[in-house]
Amino acid sequence: MKKLLEELTQTSGISGEEKEIRALIRKEIEPYADEITVDVMGNLIARKGKKKVGGKRLMISAHMDEIGLMASHIDERGFVYVAAIGGVSPLTCFGARVRFTNGTEGVIYAETSKMEKVPTIAQLFIDVGATSAEDCPVKVGDTAVFVRPFLDLGNRMVSKAMDDRIGCLVAIETLKSIKKSPNEIYFVFSTQEEVGIRGARTSAYAIDPEVGIAVDVTLSADTPHGDQGNPVLGGGPCIKVRDGSLIAHPKVIAAMKKAGKNAGVETQMEVLRFAGTDAGAIQLVRSGVPAGCLSIACRYVHSPSEMVDLKDVKDAILLLTDLASKPIELSLDGIEG
């Protein structure tokens, strides 16, 4: 599993250009899926099973895109100026290295001597070893992702793009481990989540699911001066209650809690004041879709060194496998039709 995670995180897939990562995931899931399609937005959609009595159309979405940079200008001396694709923090950019789609690598910096505060992305430049605009191998519109090797710390693992390749891993392993289910399950490896939850929206429209679950990372609170609350690394997979895009459907929360119990897995409840996941887009399509999110606690999110705990990941797979393998009860309390 670690080897697959290393491959997943080290493969490039900036929002909008997910070709490489899509090919890798496709190769990995092909033997296990009943049907695989790629849609207009580049979403990779794998169906498993057909809806049986008591079953539902279930969409499980993990986004395969990662944050990165896009060249906006090449100056006279060959320095590349950039715009952010997704939530890149300038703080994590100093000295970081990036690789453009055409293979060119470079280092990010800014004029620190003239800096009074943290620079904006527009003040950063990438040095690719060029000496003029003409000999610069990068052109305006070219994209780059961060370069940082996978780090195996035993129980903890670190890499760039852990957000959300860890979700992709959970989805892939869940797909592999489901033996029998009344549900028609659509595993969506979605695109363009980091720029505004876009791929999940169009794929959900096409799939028309009866229940939607995103698998994504969430911010952990257990760093030295964090607020020491939930969630923590190693505390188990997190059941999202709310974030900036979603009030999780009460019955989806209940189904996750139940699946956690069935699988003998410890879980944590997650209350996030901001941000969003694919679930926020899924819930909005057509008649509305009961939606929730299974999160993996992650440290240093959106830096090139995102850390997760192995046990959380394994337990998330157990929980999600149980959830997807059984009927899901969704009817809200109240009026009979």
Partner 1 sequence: MAKKANQSIKLPLIDQEALSLLEKLSNAVGVSGSEGEIRTIIKQELESCSDQISVDTLGNLIAVRHATVKNAPRVMIAAHMDEVGFMLVDKDEDGIFKFQKVGGIDDRALAGKAVQVGKNHAPGVIGACPVHLSTPAEREVIMKSDSLRIDTGPGSKDLEVGDYGSFATKFHQLGSSLCGKALDNRIGVATLIQLFKNAPDSIELIAAFTVQEEVGLRGAETSAFNLMPDFAFVIDCTPANDQQAWDKSENTLYRTRLGHGPAIYTQDSRTLYDRRLIKFVTGLAQEHGIKVQLRQPASGGTDAGAIHLTQHGIPTLSISVPGRYAHTAAMVIRKSDWEDYLQLMTIVLQNINSEILTEERP
Partner 2 sequence: MDEKQFISDFLKEMISLPGISGHESDISKKIGEVWQPLTDQIQLSAIGNLYGIKKASAKNGTEPARRVMMAVHMDGIGMVVERLAGDVLYFAQIGGFDPRILPGQQVLIHTETGEVPGVIAQLAPHLLSKPFDGKPVPLDQLVIDTGMTADELKEAVHPGDIISYANLPFELPGGCIAGHSLDNRASVAAVTQCLAELQRFNHSWDVYAVGTTQEETTFLSGTTVFDVKPDIAIVIDVTFAKGPGVDGYRVKALDSGPSIGFGANIHPALYRQFKALAEQLDMPYTLDPLPSMSGTDAVPIQTAFGGVPTCVLSIPLRYMHTPVEVIALKDVMRVGHLMAEFIARLDDSSLAQLVWED
Report CA torsion sign: 1, 172, 53, 332. positive
**Helix, strand counts (H, E) of the chain:** 7, 18
Spatial separation of the C-alpha atoms in residues 141 and 308, rounded to whole Å: 32
Please name which of 108, 104, 102, 106 lies closest in space to residue 123, comparing C-alpha atoms.
Answer: 108
User: Does the protein bind partner 2 through residue 227 (CB under 8 A)?
Assistant: yes
Q: Least distance to partner 1 from the beta carbon of 48, Å?
A: 20
Q: What is the DSSP letter of 90?
A: G
Q: Which two tokens stand for residue 303?
A: 């830096």
**Contact between 250 and partner 2 per CB under 8 A:** yes
Instruction: With beta carbons less than 8 A apart as the criterion, state whether 243 and 277 touch.
Output: yes
> Residue 241 binds which one of partner 2, partner 1, none, with CB within 5 to 8 A depending on kind?
partner 2
Q: Which stretch binds partner 1 (CB under 8 A): 168-176, 192-200, 292-300, 307-315?
A: 192-200
Whose Cβ is closer to partner 2: residue 28's or residue 193's? Answer: 193
Q: Which of 182, 179, 252 is nearest to 214 (CA)?
A: 252
Residue 177 CB, shortest distance to partner 2, in Å, is: 27
Q: Which residues are catalytic?
A: 193
User: Judged by CB under 8 A, which of 36, 195, 221, 330 binds partner 1?
Assistant: 195
Which residue in this structure is represented by tokens 């944590």?
Answer: 268
Q: Name which of 211, 68, 67 is nearest 143 in CA terms.
A: 68
Range list of H helices, the chain: 2-10, 19-29, 162-177, 199-207, 250-262, 278-282, 310-325
- 284 binds partner 2 per the rule CB under 8 A: yes
Query: Which uninterrupted H or E stretch holds 99?
Result: strand 97-100
Q: C-beta of 271: minimal distance to partner 1 in Å?
A: 28
- ∠ Cα 65 166 270 (to 5°): 105
User: Of 253 and 317, which has the nearer Cβ to partner 2?
Assistant: 253
> Whole-number minimum distance, CB 281 to partner 1, in Å?
9
Please give the C-alpha separations between residue 98 and each of 83, 105, 108, 158, 298, in angstroms, as whole numbers: 13, 6, 8, 17, 22
Give the nearer residue to partner 1 in terms of CB position, either 274 or 332. Answer: 274
Binding of partner 1 by 40 (CB under 8 A): yes
Q: Which of residues 230-249 bind partner 2 (CB under 8 A)?
A: 230, 239, 241-242, 245-249
Per-residue DSSP letter, 334: S
Of 36-44, 225-233, 244-252, 308-316, the segment contacting partner 1 by CB under 8 A is 36-44
Chain positions 200 to 239 lying near partner 1, rule: CB under 8 A, are 201-203, 205-206
Q: Which residues of the shown chain bind partner 1 in the complex (CB under 8 A)?
A: 15-17, 19, 38-42, 70-73, 75-76, 81, 83, 85, 122, 140-141, 192, 195-196, 198, 201-203, 205-206
Judged by the rule CB under 8 A, the positions of this chain that interact with partner 2 are 210, 221, 227, 229-230, 239, 241-242, 245-250, 253, 268-271, 273, 280, 283-284, 286-290, 330-335, 337
